């Protein structure tokens, strides 16, 4: 019985590692895109929602660029301190930290291909990555941020030498 439990634990760990270890740039067709709502006002910003572990791990890496007025939202079921990095991300980003009550806790500008880990300033349930130019006009006045209605996004993904897909 003990050996069987060990085998099951090892098998489960292998499955989880396969799900989160690689940078699968295949894009799920079910990825939703939502409009950002800042201070109760819808914006022209459309973000892809990273709904799976693979989408959260990949984030905006391995993309040639970020289209204007687009980004990615990372929702979390439970509040907690979160850390992000810029591995394989070839353009700078602003990350907006949002608490469980939709309050903007702040934002951090992240340099392209930085090896640093960027820590949230407190417990968050949402992080949103955008171009620093897209976030700059909102940064000084944003008190709250939520995901609004659906929108159409065109973020292109793909590792070098592989076919490009839209996210």
- Map out the domains of the chain as residue ranges: 25-166
Task: Count Cα atoms within 13 angstroms, Cβ side, for 15.
Answer: 6
Q: What is the mean pLDDT of residues 95-109?
A: 98
- Residue 8 pLDDT exceeds 90: no
pLDDT at 55: 87
pTM of full prediction above 0.85: no
Q: In this structure, how many other beta carbons lie within 10 angstroms of the beta carbon of residue 143?
A: 10
Lowest mean pLDDT: which of 9-23, 42-56, 140-154? 9-23
pLDDT at 65: 87
- Residue 75 pLDDT exceeds 70: yes
pLDDT at 58: 87
Q: What is the mean pLDDT of residues 105-134?
A: 96
Work out the pLDDT band at 154, boundaries 50, 70, 90: confident
Q: How far apart are CA 70 and CA 35, in angstroms?
A: 9
Q: Look up the CATH superfamily of 25-166.
A: Protein of unknown function DUF192 (2.60.120.1140)
**Would you say 156 and 26 are in contact if contact means Cβ atoms under 8 Å apart?**
no
Q: How far apart are CA 148 and CA 87, in angstroms?
A: 29
């Amino acid at each position: 019985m003990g050996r069987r439990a060990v085998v099951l634990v090892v098998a489960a760990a292998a499955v989880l590692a396969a799900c989160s270890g690689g940078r699968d740039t295949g894009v799920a067709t079910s990825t939703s895109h939502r409009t950002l709502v800042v201070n109760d006002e819808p914006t022209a910003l459309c973000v892809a929602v990273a709904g799976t572990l693979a989408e959260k791990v990949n984030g905006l890496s391995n993309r040639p660029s970020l289209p204007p007025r687009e980004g990615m939202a990372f929702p979390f079921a439970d509040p907690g301190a979160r850390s992000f990095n810029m591995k394989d991300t070839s353009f700078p980003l602003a990350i907006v930290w949002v608490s469980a009550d939709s309050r903007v806790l702040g934002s951090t500008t992240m340099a392209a291909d930085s090896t640093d880990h960027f820590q949230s300033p407190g417990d968050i349930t949402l992080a949103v990555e955008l171009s620093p130019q897209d976030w700059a006009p909102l940064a000084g006045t944003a008190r709250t941020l939520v995901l609004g209605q659906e929108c159409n996004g065109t973020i292109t993904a793909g590792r070098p030498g592989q076919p490009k897909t839209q996210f």
